[in-house]
Chains A and B, each alone.
Chain A
């Protein structure tokens, strides 16, 4: 039999391939032109990897000109994608922010107001929606939302998490629940251990696209780098802010936060822990490269909230100042982003993740998602961004920080506190990015007050926010 190749549109094909193509085309003609799209849609749908870290500040990256941190792998995501330089969490606390990423909703909507209020299993997550869209789904890592036993997340094919220390986990020897089975992890460092499972999931042969939610314990308090990185920044100038001193974590209300160690020690360990994350993210990126999946995989890297390391004389988070509410938010998707390395100035929020993913896979965005898709910004640097958004915080017993409702516009911030326990504040972010001067009570502040008050009411009303500081279950 002749094996001479025929040529159709300069592509060499065998006789058998030509007959097969004609047959498929004829069949497609019979069932309508949409048939190939239906068949191929699943193949074209991108894989999704969402990597969430804990307390990772927006500026703790070498690509953010950090004075000494080296994060080449995390930088790679930013440099090959879009880095949202103005990205924020709507509540600066682990559990509420995590629930916001999953649901696309504010804390007052999804109900996880603090680290003590449980996850409502009626909440719809983007994982569930992606499963319905034909994705294989995995959640690997920190869940950290209270509830009875392990959460029952609809739509999850593979679920690895931990419950020790109230769901915070520990850096070394952290026991895991692997699809409900308890597993001792002696000798394992958690960031590496979770990444091992992530790589295993990526490698798994499958027909469907996958969505993997990789949620690290790092770089939360308890800051502990892997052994080979411990001490790498010993003796280095940490460039702590001028108002900082070593005793901040053990003075004022910080005693309630529970980090009884010198600030410089904590920050050095924090940075070393971040390098540990960078190394493990590098393993994920390398795996995608090796498997030829990097082009058709959306990688999103984010942190759940910011962290103070001495700014304003503060440690920890929760408050509405920039260091606490800013988060890293990088999106890498070569098929969509025409100008990689762009630094978008439009404001992005944690609640934007879920609607963005829906938009990226061509699904309609559920009406109860309160975030908005940032796909237009991924496509074009000129896309319009939001003008203002609501920040909310609920009191966490026994930390003496009152409830907060604030509005952040692209130039200003207006912060109000529960029962006026603290005086309201107005900051001109554009001219005073470190928020050193509360304008309220000054002629400039008084002039701004009315408009910002209206803006706050507007964002409250738009999101269905009703003042209720109670966190009772």
Chain B
């Protein structure tokens, strides 16, 4: 795969997804002030589609772009995780000034804070699979391995964490998190 410039293989996919998230979140909040019910609904649905594409499926898109522009695995991981980490920081910083420093850092284990990163790990893993399948079909190169260490780790880590966090509809992890919180901070 031809390695393109940094701006094309790294900056572009990051900016595309990040911009999508910023527009989506602001558009959603803006919609509340629209008096026309029809227009209100349209803007809400539009923002929701953008949210799904950027926050939850961003890594699939960003990784695919980066992959076919010659980014290395480390670069692809960076590109894929950039927007989810920004979203994580947004959620995390939301409690700044309300709880203690210890509680602030403990929140990094909360499933809402982690969820975008976890889901995007899975998204990146899936994207890796189809990018490799496409590359192999295009190039007919048997050296292109569909499953390799990097994408396997990303996919397994994502699926494992997702299972843990949403086991028994999320009750198991939630009560584990809260029990730990009570023991540590109350």
> A-side interface residues toward B, CB under 8 Å?
116-117, 165-166, 242-243, 245-247, 251-253, 255-256, 258, 313, 395, 397-398, 400-403, 418-419, 421, 469, 471-473
Contacts and interface: CB of A to CB of B under 8 A. Distances in A.
Nearest to B100: A470
Contacts of B51: 251
Contacts of A418: 97-98
B83 to A, nearest CB: 16
B159 interface: no
A421 B97 CA distance: 7
Interface residues of B, number: 33
Interface string B29-42: 10111010100110
Interface in B99-130: 99, 103, 107, 110, 112, 115
Interface in B78-108: 91, 94-99, 103, 107
B80 to A, nearest CB: 21
Interface of B: 28-29, 31-33, 35, 37, 40-41, 44, 48, 51, 91, 94-99, 103, 107, 110, 112, 115, 170-171, 174-175, 178, 181-182, 185-186
Contact of A400 (B32, B48, B95, B181): B95
Contacts of A255: 91, 112, 115
Contact of B186 (A117, A165, A166): A117
The majority secondary structure among interface residues of chain A is: loop
Contacts of B107: 398
Contacts of A419: 97-98
Given A245-B41, A398-B99, A419-B97, A116 B186 contact: yes
A471 to B, nearest CB: 7
B50 to A, nearest CB: 12
A222 to B, nearest CB: 11
B174 A258 contact: yes
B52 to A, nearest CB: 11
A313 B32 contact: yes
A397 B105 CA distance: 12
- Among the interface residues A395, A400, A401, A469, which one has the most CB atoms of the partner chain B within 10 A? A400
7 contacts: A245-B44, A258-B170, A397-B181, A398-B112, A398-B181, A402-B98, A418-B97
B186 A400 contact: no
A289 B83 CA distance: 64
Contacts of A401: 98
Contacts of B91: 255
B98 A471 contact: no
A309 to B, nearest CB: 14
Contacts of B31: 245
A419 B41 CA distance: 36
B174 A397 contact: no
B98 A242 contact: no
Given A116-B186, A471-B186, A397 B103 contact: yes
A175 to B, nearest CB: 16
A31 B66 CA distance: 99
Contact of B40 (A116, A245, A253): A245
Contacts of B170: 258
B113 to A, nearest CB: 8
